[in-house]
Structure 1
């Protein structure tokens, strides 16, 4: 990759055109078009991307197009799988991205013998076997190039190293496919020119009155005071704010159409007036049958990928405070089409949202004051006693053959990749695998966790009340653990940071009250949404055992099987849920993010820059449903 930098003082003319060959403006996603002449100093950055090899390989009656080990493939179901690479540029807050142009070098044409392979339907981590199927969608009947341009780009605002910046993410395609003629256009080099205007003045120094704000109902306030004092004693300036104070305008003027939006506007004000980086929401479900009630507001994302969840809980809504608009950070209400269906992506419409976290967020989904006390005690115990202990330097990874049918044992591959990153820190690993007989029943998990560990990683299938995986090539046998067994965990004061790879394990809106929803009882029973509390939250709030925090999915999680690009690396650790789970551990090990929230939020940001979410519903859902149930400011490994 070659870089060129230059300064120029010119009149800018931005012409938006879609040209098959030659110079073209990159197709924008949620971008703004500037027309006419503007006389002002503009900086320019140029980058040359090289794609020295292009391989077309026949497989299963189709061809697969590869462009090197540093590229990935688009995975929109029933559409051609095309290679791409993303480039990420960061700028100071207030930067205006004026223009982005792409110039492919010599464009060559290849006549293909077979059609380009369509992406398969996504594989869910639920407890039902779903066959992987490929179908040719409408794209294959069109006389249009796919993708539509040599590159697409989007601008967002989010946290990078605790500073809010402007992200420019450019997705480049070295090859494009014409289905009607079954031809492939490709290039070995793409030049990109970026014109941007830096802010005329540096952004004002961020206020640092507080590092974290805790948002909770007044009923929980007294129980949280010891946690505030504990955080302050370790240099984490913490402010406890009750929901009643937010709704009453005690600190800032009240804005928002409902309670969830009022809380989000409050977070925006707290960023700008107090300089916060962390937000802890405290409060889970509080009764309700036909419509759940909440101690602390939630937001459902109306993203429908075709599974049975037409909407799902998304705390990312509260973390994604800003979007980019003409160079400025503005409030992102997640409702760009104004129909009160937030984060919508379905046949009804599509909201264009930013998704980059602007704060590191976590939730204590407490349903009563007792659970508040349990979590406060566990957090204080962990942060004051874990440091330097042998147990906190141990990792327990649990997996099996998540999607039988190929040579890869999916969950075990994911666990081994996490171990690869953590071992560089000297962390000792214990694995429980179905393939070698170390995982044969739930008691194996209970014994390993009860011995003490600092990290716990489940990679397999799930539902709101249990987790399991398969022995090799045996999709009918399930080995795992459910909530009824949590009572047997005996790891008091040895609580791990826990990753849960599986469907709906962190669906924290389930309740026994759902059994009274007779209209939807069949679906509630089938989805195991009738338990007292979800797997992820119960594991976190378990008394004298369990985890200190959990990260998991509030709805169906998705993976990928096989090795489509034949790079020798299992696709399940390169895409979707498998990638983001592992990325948490990589961020901790390699980027030095030593709080749970920073590692979680940075993993989301990294996912968004690698897999542009506004072009693929599964990628959008992967980050929106990935919830942290715990203290986002938790110091991994405790304080010295």
Structure 2
């Protein structure tokens, strides 16, 4: 969770004023001003690419629709606030005429190797329209979760679209800045105790209790206030549509009663041979020591295991998030039924949660022994402050010439490509020759070529500045009938 929040905060851009205004006893507003740099345009054969420094590489990525920059602004509000409203007013809008269409967003492709990477296909309804895309200057979503300081907060994630495109008119509108106003109602009371009685709760079946009690005592001795709750106790004390929901209600209760921040589930499938991993579309229960929630994807796809369900306790307003917002009894649903809206999920964790997927008492004993031994001995061990890093030179300071091979106007035959690079000290490498065949009827064959041209005067070449050639073709390659893209 810390890494996710750190990444999110790294995308924030605040350039301007920030203010709080108290409207009345329970109503609060927050005002933010953001300024944007000028867009950059790159002519890419058939299309025009637009980038914006403030977007930090983020784009609207809806397949077939124009790929335009988006700026993400995440604001933290107190936990449990209600009726969050966001207004965004663009300022300094400029109209710019463009001569080419903006590049469409690509469709998702499998990670597995592909011999042919299809070009993005335009959504004709959008590209033939005189309406601005996107339809608004902004969108936003509200959720509840833990921030980087492990504090319960409300997240307001505002996506701002500083550039809007009118395809049929061949023009864009660019905002120089925006004023953001957020209004909300403060909660009547704080649901989360300021100081927790416990830090960690372990959830497991009673048959694991004896071994886990050793872990409870160990954690308490190290200042991590811990207690054990069995699944049998939870099922007897809490209501819910199924066993996973009962456990989730218990976790909610543990947050509000004892202020827990960490949850450890102990128990996986009871057997790799006879245990049934899934009882229905929503959960695996009978074959599990601690049940598992499943998502529900498109059509008849079986979904996937998702312990995030147990960590995502709250949604906007501090309300319980059951992951069944459309109320049809199917959890974490994504368009399973025609014309049925998918479930709207919060997806921000409200506890740090993990699972030890032990299948028997012996596995519990083994992993508890390992945890206790590590936490008791690792810190003072000789090896504890040693680190092994396996890495390579990313050449992040290299200049990418963005060369694109377009062979449509060349006749078939043998060709020689010449390349030469210089480093930041002005030293030039040798002229690099690559011999390739152009055959528009043959299958494309490309291999990546990389030579550092290291300084031989130094042992192994380093730490001299390399003079690196990185070329997307090698000797003997064939430029054939297939389009090819390196990423």
Pairwise same-fold verdict (TM > 0.5): yes
Q: Say yes or no: does 1:66 pair with 2:51.
A: yes
Give structure 1 stretches of 5+ with no counterpart.
10-38, 409-433, 437-471, 475-560, 564-640
Aligned position for 1:394: 387
Decide whether aligned partners of structure 1 residues 222 and 203 sit closer, same or farther in structure 2, where only a CA change above 3 A counts: closer
Q: RMSD value over aligned CA atoms? A: 3.3
Aligned position for 2:33: 48
Contact 2:55 2:72 in 1 (8 A): no
Aligned position for 1:302: 296
| Distance in 2 of aligned mates of 1:135 and 1:5 | 44
CA-CA distance at 1:338 after TM superposition: 1.6
Superposed counterparts of 1:567-606, under 5 Å: none
Aligned position for 2:91: 105
| Distance in 2 of aligned mates of 1:94 and 1:221 | 35
Aligned position for 1:450: none
Q: Could you list the per-position Cα deviations for residues 262-302 of structure 1 after superposition, in whole angstroms to 9, with x for gaps in the alignment?
A: 11111111111121100111111231277562121111122
Superposed counterparts of 1:613-628, under 5 Å: none
| Distance in 2 of aligned mates of 1:76 and 1:176 | 14
Give structure 2 stretches of 5+ with no counterpart.
1-14, 395-399, 403-447, 451-471, 475-484
| Distance in 2 of aligned mates of 1:177 and 1:295 | 54
**SS of corresponding position for 2:376:** helix
Contact 2:84 2:142 in 1 (8 A): no
CA-CA distance at 1:314 after TM superposition: 1.0
Superposed counterparts of 1:7-406, under 5 Å: 7-9=21-23, 42-71=27-56, 72-125=58-111, 129=114, 131-133=116-118, 134-137=120-123, 139-160=126-147, 161-199=149-187, 205-206=193-194, 208-249=196-237, 254-286=238-270, 287-288=275-276, 291=279, 293-304=287-298, 310-324=302-316, 328-346=317-335, 348=337, 349-388=341-380, 389-390=382-383, 393-397=386-390
Contact 1:7 1:42 in 2 (8 A): no
Contact 1:50 1:188 in 2 (8 A): yes
CA-CA distance at 1:351 after TM superposition: 1.0
Choose the corresponding residue for 1:2, options 16, 29, 37: 16
CA-CA distance at 1:395 after TM superposition: 4.2
| Distance in 2 of aligned mates of 1:148 and 1:407 | 35
Q: Could you list the per-position Cα deviations for residues 132-174 of structure 1 after superposition, in whole angstroms to 9, with x for gaps in the alignment?
A: 4322235435443222211111211111212211111111110
**SS of corresponding position for 2:169:** coil
**SS of corresponding position for 1:89:** strand
| Distance in 1 of aligned mates of 2:385 and 2:302 | 39
Q: Could you list the per-position Cα deviations for residues 531-561 of structure 1 after superposition, in whole angstroms to 9, with x for gaps in the alignment?
A: xxxxxxxxxxxxxxxxxxxxxxxxxxxxxx9
CA-CA distance at 1:77 after TM superposition: 2.7
Q: Could you list the per-position Cα deviations for residues 506-539 of structure 1 after superposition, in whole angstroms to 9, with x for gaps in the alignment?
A: xxxxxxxxxxxxxxxxxxxxxxxxxxxxxxxxxx
Please identify the structure whose Cα radius of gyration is greater: 2
Decide whether aligned partners of structure 1 residues 357 and 397 sit closer, same or farther in structure 2, where only a CA change above 3 A counts: farther
Q: Could you list the per-position Cα deviations for residues 381-437 of structure 1 after superposition, in whole angstroms to 9, with x for gaps in the alignment?
A: 221222254355424558999xxxx999xxxxxxxxxxxxxxxxxxxxxxxxx999x
Decide whether aligned partners of structure 1 residues 398 and 244 sit closer, same or farther in structure 2, where only a CA change above 3 A counts: farther
| Distance in 2 of aligned mates of 1:257 and 1:290 | 16
Decide whether aligned partners of structure 1 residues 263 and 200 sit closer, same or farther in structure 2, where only a CA change above 3 A counts: closer
| Distance in 2 of aligned mates of 1:347 and 1:63 | 37
CA-CA distance at 1:100 after TM superposition: 1.9
Q: Could you list the per-position Cα deviations for residues 233-254 of structure 1 after superposition, in whole angstroms to 9, with x for gaps in the alignment?
A: 10111111111111111xxxx1
CA-CA distance at 1:190 after TM superposition: 1.0
**SS of corresponding position for 1:162:** coil
CA-CA distance at 1:60 after TM superposition: 4.2
| Distance in 1 of aligned mates of 2:277 and 2:187 | 51
| Distance in 1 of aligned mates of 2:306 and 2:385 | 30
Contact 1:7 1:43 in 2 (8 A): yes
Q: Could you list the per-position Cα deviations for residues 79-109 of structure 1 after superposition, in whole angstroms to 9, with x for gaps in the alignment?
A: 3211111112212223335532111113222
**SS of corresponding position for 1:82:** coil
Decide whether aligned partners of structure 1 residues 140 and 277 sit closer, same or farther in structure 2, where only a CA change above 3 A counts: same
Contact 1:159 1:165 in 2 (8 A): yes
TM-score, with structure 2 as normaliser: 0.69
Contact 2:54 2:71 in 1 (8 A): no
CA-CA distance at 1:201 after TM superposition: 5.7
CA-CA distance at 1:258 after TM superposition: 0.8
Contact 1:88 1:167 in 2 (8 A): yes
**SS of corresponding position for 2:332:** coil
**SS of corresponding position for 2:139:** strand
Decide whether aligned partners of structure 1 residues 319 and 142 sit closer, same or farther in structure 2, where only a CA change above 3 A counts: farther
Greater mean alpha carbon deviation, residues 79-88 or residues 381-390 = 381-390
Decide whether aligned partners of structure 1 residues 114 and 347 sit closer, same or farther in structure 2, where only a CA change above 3 A counts: farther
**SS of corresponding position for 1:394:** coil
User: How many positions carry a matched residue from both structures?
Assistant: 374
| Distance in 2 of aligned mates of 1:75 and 1:164 | 30
| Distance in 2 of aligned mates of 1:222 and 1:360 | 24
| Distance in 2 of aligned mates of 1:358 and 1:245 | 23
Greater mean alpha carbon deviation, residues 198-207 or residues 369-378 = 198-207
Contact 2:192 2:256 in 1 (8 A): no
Contact 2:55 2:69 in 1 (8 A): no
TM-score, with structure 1 as normaliser: 0.53
Superposed counterparts of 1:463-474, under 5 Å: none
Contact 1:152 1:171 in 2 (8 A): yes
